[in-house]
A = this chain, B = another copy of it.
Amino acid sequence: MPYKPLSDRVIIQQQDAEETTKFGIVLPDAAQEKPQTGKVVAVGPGRTTDDGKNVPIAVKEGDVVVFAKYGGTTVKDAGQEYLIIKESDILAIRS
């Protein structure tokens, strides 16, 4: 993973259809919020508050997460697509 996200951003490798089925089918609830599953491949340092405090990110590399795709940005590396999203777009971790 050559990209290191900034602030409260996370890079996700989206699950392909087969994997998604293993974890359960994710049903979109509304058109503007498309939930998806994926694996976290890189996490930023967390945002810095006005008091200069760091708010670390609550997920870590390797976590499988459900996220709302709203607002993410796709990048490609070595033939593989990744998605850069904000931590706040992650809804839940699959334990």
Contact with B along A59-95 (1 / 0, CB 8 A): 1000000101001111111100101100110111111
What is the total number of copies of this protein in its complex?
A: 7
Bound: A95/B77 CA distance, A: 12
Within 8 A of B (CB), among A5-34: 5-7, 9, 11, 23-29, 33
- Assign chain A's interface to a size class: 35 or more
Across chains A and B, which 5 residue pairs bring their CB atoms closest together, nearest first?
A49-B50, A3-B92, A24-B77, A29-B74, A5-B92
Using a CB–CB cutoff of 8 Å, the interface residues on chain A facing chain B are 2-7, 9, 11, 23-29, 33, 35, 42, 44-45, 48-53, 55, 58-59, 66, 68, 71-78, 81, 83-84, 87-88, 90-95
